[in-house]
Chain A
Amino acid sequence: MFLSLADTPVGQERHVESLSATGIMRRRLLDLGFVPGAPVSVVRKAPLGDPTAYLIRGAIIALRKEEAAFIQVK
C-alpha cells in the first residue's frame, strides 16, 4: 500500500509509483509528467493548504489535494 502524493510533506522528494486515476484525469496527469519512475518533489503549499506546488520533470505544477491523491509514490 503506497502513500499518495497528497500525503507527502513539503520539501520531500519521492518517485511516482502508479496512478489510481482513470480516463481524462489519468491522461492529464500522464501528460504533465507523472509517469511511473518520475522523481517528484513537494515545493510548497498555497496559504490555505490547497493547491500544492510540485516539481516534476523540470517544471512546477500545481495540483489540488484530490488530484494529488491519485498519484501513488514511494
Chain B
Amino acid sequence: MGLSHRSTGVTVFKEEGAKRRGTDYIVALAGNPNTGKSTVFNALTGLNQHTGNWPGKTVLRAEGYYKHQGQEYLLIDLPGTYSLFANSVEEQVARDFICFGNYQVIIVVVDATCLERNLNLALQVLEMTSKVVICVNLLDEAKRKGIKIDLSALSEELGVPVVGTNAREGVGLEQLKTAVKKVASGSIAAEPRKITYDLEIESAISDLLTKIETNSFTHINPRWLALRLLEGEDLLQLGKEAKNPVVTEHNKTKVALLEG
C-alpha cells in the first residue's frame, strides 16, 4: 500500500500483526547487521514466522511466534542497525519501533567477536528502555579467535541480563527464553547502567526534563528525549503527532546553548 495517514506515524505501532492476542508478550529483536540476529530469530520461531514490510516503507519486517512455559511470545525482527540515530530508513524504522512500539522486552544481539563495536547500539538502547536482554551470539566464532567473554561481568556492568548463545547450534536459547520471560514478567528489575555526560550537558538535560515531564510523552524515556532534543534531532514529526510544545522549547534551548 502507498503512504497514507493510517500507514505512517505513531499510530501504526499500536496496531501490529494480524495474529496478535491480548495475552502475548511482544519481544523486539535488535542488533548490528551480521550478528546472527536472523539465526536467533529463526532458531526461536522455527516456521512460525511471517515476512512483510514495515508500513509505508520498503524495509523488510519479519515476525514470528514461540511458546515458552505455556506463554506465547511474538518476536519482531527489527532491521539490523549500527545505531539508532536514523542515518538511514532501516535505522529510522528500528528507532521508531524501539521508541514508540508496544513491546515488553527487547533483545539486543551482539557479536562476541566484535563486542566493543556492538555495544554502541546496546548502550543506545539501554538509554531508551530498561526492558533489555543482551544476547552475546557467535560464541563459537569468538572461541575460534581465542576471545573469551565474561558474561556475568558484562551483565553487572550493563545492569541487565546477558545470555551467551551460539544460535547456529542452538546453544543458549533456553537461557535466552528464560531471561526474556523474567524481564517480560517483571521478575527481574533491571537497572541499566546510566551514562552520565559532562556537567554542561547534564545541567541542560535537567532543565529540559522539568519541561518534558510536564508534557504528555507518556511512554518515551524523558532523559532520552532530552538528549535527542539537545542534539538537534529533527523531532518535529514527533511534536506534531503529540501536539506538543516541547519542540518550541527545543529550539529555544538550542539557541541558548549555541549562544551560551
Contacts and interface: CB of A to CB of B under 8 A. Distances in A.
Interface in A1-40: 24, 27-28, 31-33
Contacts of B113: 58
Contacts of B85: 27, 31
Interface string A43-74: 00000000000000111000000000000000
A61 B214 CA distance: 44
Given A31-B82, A32-B82, A58 B117 contact: yes
Nearest to A38: B116
A33 to B, nearest CB: 6
Contacts of B83: 27, 31
Contacts of B115: 58
B87 A31 contact: yes
B117 A24 contact: no
Contact of B116 (A27, A28, A58): A58
Per DSSP, chain B at the interface is helix
B87 A58 contact: no
B207 to A, nearest CB: 24
A24 B91 CA distance: 12
B189 interface: no
B169 to A, nearest CB: 23
B252 to A, nearest CB: 22
Contacts of A28: 87
Interface of A: 24, 27-28, 31-33, 57-59
Given A27-B83, A31-B85, A33-B116, 20 more contacts: A24-B87, A27-B85, A27-B87, A28-B87, A31-B82, A31-B83, A31-B87, A31-B120, A32-B82, A33-B117, A33-B120, A57-B114, A57-B116, A57-B117, A58-B113, A58-B115, A58-B116, A58-B117, A59-B114, A59-B117
